[in-house]
Amino acid sequence: MIAVVSALGMTTFLGGCGSTGSSDVTLKLVAADYGDSAANTSQKYWDRLARDYESRHPSVKIQVSVYSWTDVDRKVKEMVDAGDPPDMAQIGAYADYADRGLLYKADDLLSIPVQADFLGQLSEAGQLRHVQYGIPFAASTRVLFYNKTLFDEAHITPPKTWDQLASDAEALKAEGVKYPYALPLGPEEAQAETMQWLLGGGSGYTDDIGTYTLNSPQNTETFTWLKDELVGKGLTGPVAPGKLNRADAFAAFASGDVGMLNGHPTLMQQAAKKGVKFGMVPVPGRSGTPKSTMGVTDWMMAFKKHGHKDRIGDFLDFVYSRKNVLDFSREYDLLPVTTSASDAMADAQQDENLRPFLDELPLAQLYPFGKTSWAQISADIKKQIGQTVSPGGDPTAVLNRLQDKASTAESAELAG
């Protein structure tokens, strides 16, 4: 869910030796990088945490390899396909591995207090056929970020509806703003921007019973509106939405070139570092604030291949301690996945900027993570959704193609 800018080579370190048993064990973890530079790479977080754990369990070594979001899911897949999965992986999707019987159940690993501390809707999203395999790791929601300076110069106020958003974008364009509204439908994270707009249009990726509805009438209307009212009128900037990645859109906002865009908490720090004065409001919908915003969570999972269930579980209990969850969330401006850390953050003055996101999380709608087909459907969306708003593009045809593939995958999933 939360993308970064560059691939990091595999970096590992080894600590001491010993643990909950008598023999030495090395646990291998592959994790995603949430940093935006070498200075705040997640490798540093995991190295500190692993050293702390090893000092308490001297016969266990924690070997961590951190990769960018561009690479990490592929790296884990390659390891699994080669028959040598890591003991743990912190990546974007779990369901396919769970469906193949490769993962431990969450309740085989975690203590009861740790399991009970997870936010309910996140634990449910980690279930395949009512059994939890995916352990939520980090969460975020979306709000509309806007550049206060550019808005003041254009004499406009933050929008609450799509029509107001289009009107504001027109005013920003008249002032020479490079990207009045940045619409990142490029391959990096197009599924996120897409889902936010679908929710604003009154639909989503699935219906209330979880069946794919990519080509619903509301979704078709949503992308037709985007094509005609924003992209077709030159209100989304010089880069075609289908080629604009989220990281580039965020960087442009932090450089003062974007009037408004949908963003998650990490954009706050990025913009503040560059001195951009920004505001945040709920993402507009067709006729007002949507009934739910988009929530994203990433996943921790443990592979059964090499055993070590008890030691993996003990380490994960440590990872999900209140202190460690808070430390990670604060380091990367993300939302905690546990109730204890969420309550602490809600009460802390230092986390005041995250409260708009925290307030949205309980009602946020997540990707259909529990469907084994989601990983492929998400990849298809990343590749094709930008065509809906391209010159000569046909939103109906693109959404129909995506729905056909989704329906086929869903049928195979149910048959399996």
Q: Are 76 and 95 in a shared domain? A: yes
Q: Which of 363, 387, 410 is the last residue of a domain?
A: 363
Q: In the prediction, which pLDDT does 269 show? A: 87
Q: Is 183 within the bounds of a domain? A: yes
Q: Are 208 and 181 in a shared domain? A: yes
19 vs 49, higher pLDDT: 49
Residue 19 — pLDDT band, cuts 50, 70, 90? very low
Q: Which of 293, 320, 341 is the last residue of a domain?
A: 293
Q: Are 209 and 306 in a shared domain? A: no
Q: Are 64 and 117 in a shared domain? A: yes
Residues 352-401 pLDDT 10s: 989 889 988 888 899 999 898 998 899 899 999 999 999 999 999 999 99
Q: H helices of 82-142, where?
A: 95-99, 106-109, 112-117, 120-125
- Average pLDDT of every residue of the chain: 92
How far apart (Å, rounded) are the C-alpha atoms in residues 99 and 375? 13
H or E stretch covering 221: helix 217-225
Neighbours of 190 (CB within 10 A): 24
Q: Are 87 and 168 in a shared domain? A: no
Q: H helices of 303-394, where?
A: 309-319, 322-332, 339-347, 355-360, 374-384
Q: Are 289 and 328 in a shared domain? A: no
Structural domain harbouring 200: 143-293
Q: Which of 348, 363, 378 is the last residue of a domain?
A: 363
Q: Is 226 within the bounds of a domain? A: yes
Burial of 45 (0-12, 13-18, 19+ CB in 10 A): buried
Q: Is 16 within the bounds of a domain? A: no
Name, in order, each residue with C-beta under 8 angstroms of 93's C-beta and a sequence gap of 6 or more: 73, 299, 369, 374, 375, 378
Q: In the prediction, which pLDDT does 416 show? A: 65
Q: Are 232 and 191 in a shared domain? A: yes
Number of domains in the chain: 2
Q: Are 87 and 135 in a shared domain? A: yes
Whether 175 shows a pLDDT value over 60: the answer reads yes
Q: Is 31 within the bounds of a domain? A: yes
Q: Are 166 and 289 in a shared domain? A: yes
Whether 254 shows a pLDDT value over 70: the answer reads yes
Q: In the prediction, which pLDDT does 415 show? A: 75
Whether 18 shows a pLDDT value over 80: the answer reads no
Residue 319 — pLDDT band, cuts 50, 70, 90? very high
Q: Is 119 within the bounds of a domain? A: yes
The CATH number covering residue 300 comes to 3.40.190.10
Q: Are 250 and 115 in a shared domain? A: no
Residues 100-115 have a mean pLDDT of: 97
Give the β-pairing of 143-147 and 258-263: antiparallel
Q: Is 392 within the bounds of a domain? A: no
Q: Are 318 and 286 in a shared domain? A: no
Q: Is 409 within the bounds of a domain? A: no
- Quote the distance between the C-alpha of residue 81 and its chain's center: 25
Whether 151 shows a pLDDT value over 60: the answer reads yes
> pLDDT over 90 for what percent of the chain?
81
Residues 256-263 have a mean pLDDT of: 98
**Cα→Cα distances 61→32, 262, 313, 323, Å:** 19, 41, 14, 21
H or E stretch covering 131: strand 131-132
Asked if residue 88 lies in contact with residue 32, where contact means CB atoms within 8 angstroms, the answer is no
Whether 333 shows a pLDDT value over 60: the answer reads yes
3-state secondary structure of 389: helix
Residue 286 — pLDDT band, cuts 50, 70, 90? very high
Q: Is 4 within the bounds of a domain? A: no
Residues 152-173 pLDDT 10s: 999 999 999 999 999 999 999 9
3-state secondary structure of 116: helix
Q: Are 204 and 91 in a shared domain? A: no
